[in-house]
Structure 1
Amino acid sequence: MSELPEADRQGDLPAPRETGDLIGQEEAEQAFLDSYLGGRLHHAWLLTGAKGVGKATLAYRMARFVLKYGDPETARAMGAETLDLAADDPVFRQVAGLGHPDLMLLRRPADEKTKKLKTVIPVEEVRRTTGFFGKSAGAGGWRVAIVDSADEMNANAANALLKNLEEPPSRSLFILISHQPGRLLPTIRSRCRKLTLEPLSPQAIDALLARHAPGLSPEDAAIASALAEGSAGRALSIAAAGGIALYRQMLDVLAPLPRLNIKAVHGFADAVAKRGADDQFEMGLELLTEWVARLVRLQSGAGEAVLRQEAELAARMGEMGGLDRWVEVWEKIGALASRAQGLNTDRKLVILNAFSMIEAASRGLTVRA
């Protein structure tokens, strides 16, 4: 019997709850630590920032800390100066296995029949908090609920969570992870203390790649770091899912613009649209979308190319179509990607349509979605 997928796990990479360290977000960590040790811990925290910058990892570090120490006096007495817990600590192991009785994780559940993740966090998930917070907490006295991600709650789920935030149980801690906080109810945002996690520095990304993907050549590591744009999760997924080779293949396919080689386009589409290759498909579509976004930034003088080949291609594209046209292409491919995630569409056709839009724009033709 195959295991059900997990919404917060990328491929074979460790899940955030299994990750002990967090690089490059010291300011956000210190803000939470100061609040806790000062006895001013807010009952709800909203962690925002781009995908892959460490929001979920920080959420579990926060949860483990309060579940371990229970109160500021105990934390100070035990010399806790950071949110670190040793990997062999019982609290760390329980949280990593989602077996801690005082921790609840709300995320998109998997469908038992289809073995696929649902597209939203339904209200039934949030309603589980009623029983969870109604029980007596363990020795530490805290109960912690992590919502990953809050953006994925449907309307009923969001309203159910809001009721908890409006009347929080004693010694409860809500940690909401959000990639797009503007999509949340204003009333939810207003009841949370917000921590914004910034994109990681190139040095931090390089350190993570050296630790978790030591087999990468220096050139490939530089490509993964540049494509990640400050996202540790993105850098690691690119390295793990063959994203570097896929990126090179994509540039080769785009090289003949304004007229693409149909055989090469179909070869790329076949590579990323294979049955069961979900990660490859998402990676291929993201690489295409992000290439157009970089093209727009390069044309506006606000970006850098990943490789010289990309810079030369961008210069040619600037001569073939104005900035407004490429912004339109970026928007339409983004909409195409969103529909592909929500519907059971023909994956190869999605990729072919994206290349068709790029070719049309480079030839000065009408871009059709």
Structure 2
Amino acid sequence: MLHHAWLICGPAGIGKATLAFRLARLLLNAENPDSSQARRIAAGTHGDLLEISRAVDEKKGRLRGEITAADVRPVQTFLHHTATEGGWRVVIVDGAEYLNRFAANALLKILEEPPPRCVLLLTTSSPGALLPTIRSRCRMLTLSALSDADMRAALPGISADVLARAHGSPGRALFLSQDRDGAIASFVAEILAGQVRGSETMALSERIAREAEGFALLCDLLGEGLADRARSAARRGDLAKADLAARQCSELDTLRRQTEGFNLDKAQAIRQAAELASGS
């Protein structure tokens, strides 16, 4: 018998949501992409499939920072209705780590008493962020990073340098490739080496802030660099430097969340990120 809840885990960009929708198509008899079922799934109008994810904040024009109880509430009604096509009902919760406390508790009640012939597919890059009681009620399916050969086959137009930094994640490779001239990666390298001068920081921060994903990309690369610095220092036994790098990484994450969550000045935030990360 098919278990009623699955937790699909893996790094960002590895294809967790793609797999969840693939499984949904299998359950809903929509394997043929030309079928009416498949077309309804693609259009988001299939009566036996419900997707829950972070909604767009219309005032800020970006995804909200959490999934709320109001977002989860329709699941209860959906699962207690008869399947429109007499088969399975499928719920996909994409980005389950974003469930706030109230949303997580609402989902937990559904996982504890699931109706028959329903499947919940939860995706997450951070399984540790979920309630242990949610994890315990799900079968875990962990996606591994793609091999170098698979990455080259999937993304033939992406440079070898970007593929190497993507760590086997196609989505991350596409994200990193937005730094088309490598200016953001070079800026991050200079920050980590403590070589950035004030006038350069001012000009580059303004340029990066104007790019659609510039701020997010800088924070991602800078956070990765600080995490590598912390791991390297810990392996050498330099616990003081490892602790400093770990704290810098945490402060950078807080700065990113606050800047994106409150729509703060990204250029100013980039200068703050450069300042906090350049100290060693």
**TM norm structure 1:** 0.69
SS in 2 for 1:68: coil
Asked whether 1:44 is paired with 2:5, we answer yes
Alignment match, 2:79: 133
Alignment match, 1:262: 198
Asked whether 1:167 is paired with 2:113, we answer yes
Alignment match, 1:343: 262
Deviation at 1:115, TM superposition (A): 3.5
SS in 2 for 1:188: helix
Deviation at 1:299, TM superposition (A): 4.9
Q: Count matched residues.
A: 278
Alignment match, 2:182: 245
| Whole-angstrom CA distance in 1 between matches of 2:225 and 2:163 | 15
Within-5 A mapping of 1:75-86: 85-86=31-32
| Whole-angstrom CA distance in 2 between matches of 1:326 and 1:359 | 10
Residue 39 of structure 2 aligns with an amino acid whose one-letter code is R
2:207 counterpart (271, 280, 296): 271
| Whole-angstrom CA distance in 2 between matches of 1:260 and 1:114 | 31
- Indicate the RMSD between aligned Cα atoms, in angstroms: 2.5
Residue 224 of structure 1 aligns with an amino acid whose one-letter code is V
- Structure number with greater CO (CA < 8 Å, separation at least 6) is 2
Deviation at 1:328, TM superposition (A): 3.3
Asked whether 1:222 is paired with 2:160, we answer yes
Structure with greater Cα Rg: 1
Residue 353 of structure 1 aligns with an amino acid whose one-letter code is Q
Residue 337 of structure 1 aligns with an amino acid whose one-letter code is R
Residue 91 of structure 1 aligns with an amino acid whose one-letter code is Q
Asked whether 1:290 is paired with 2:216, we answer no
Alignment match, 2:64: 118
Deviation at 1:99, TM superposition (A): 1.5
Deviation at 1:291, TM superposition (A): 2.1
Residues 344 and 260 (structure 1), Cα distance of their counterparts in 2 relative to 1, 3 Å cut: same
Asked whether the 8 Å contact 2:60–2:263 carries over to 1, the reply is no
Residue 126 of structure 1 aligns with an amino acid whose one-letter code is V
Asked whether the 8 Å contact 2:163–2:173 carries over to 1, the reply is yes
| Whole-angstrom CA distance in 2 between matches of 1:182 and 1:280 | 28
Alignment match, 2:174: 236
Residue 116 of structure 2 aligns with an amino acid whose one-letter code is S
Identical-residue share of aligned pairs (%): 36
Within-5 A mapping of 1:1-369: 40-68=1-29, 85-210=31-156, 214=157, 216=158, 221-239=159-177, 241-242=178-179, 245-250=182-187, 253-254=190-191, 257-274=193-210, 277-299=211-233, 322-361=241-280
| Whole-angstrom CA distance in 1 between matches of 2:222 and 2:9 | 25
Asked whether the 8 Å contact 1:67–1:91 carries over to 2, the reply is yes
Asked whether the 8 Å contact 1:253–1:261 carries over to 2, the reply is no
SS in 2 for 1:105: strand
Deviation at 1:123, TM superposition (A): 0.9
For structure 2, list consecutive stretches of 5 or more residues without a partner in the other structure: none
Residue 332 of structure 1 aligns with an amino acid whose one-letter code is E
Asked whether the 8 Å contact 2:93–2:121 carries over to 1, the reply is yes
SS in 2 for 1:283: helix
Deviation at 1:139, TM superposition (A): 2.8
Residue 49 of structure 1 aligns with an amino acid whose one-letter code is G
Q: Give deviations 1:72-119, integer Å, cap 9, x for gaps.
A: xxxxxxxxxxxxx34323332221211111100001112345433222
| Whole-angstrom CA distance in 1 between matches of 2:128 and 2:207 | 35
Asked whether the 8 Å contact 1:142–1:173 carries over to 2, the reply is yes
Deviation at 1:168, TM superposition (A): 0.7
Residues 182 and 222 (structure 1), Cα distance of their counterparts in 2 relative to 1, 3 Å cut: same
Q: Give deviations 1:136-164, integer Å, cap 9, x for gaps.
A: 21335111000011111111111111111
Asked whether the 8 Å contact 1:199–1:230 carries over to 2, the reply is yes
Deviation at 1:252, TM superposition (A): 6.6
Residues 243 and 86 (structure 1), Cα distance of their counterparts in 2 relative to 1, 3 Å cut: farther
Asked whether the 8 Å contact 2:188–2:221 carries over to 1, the reply is no
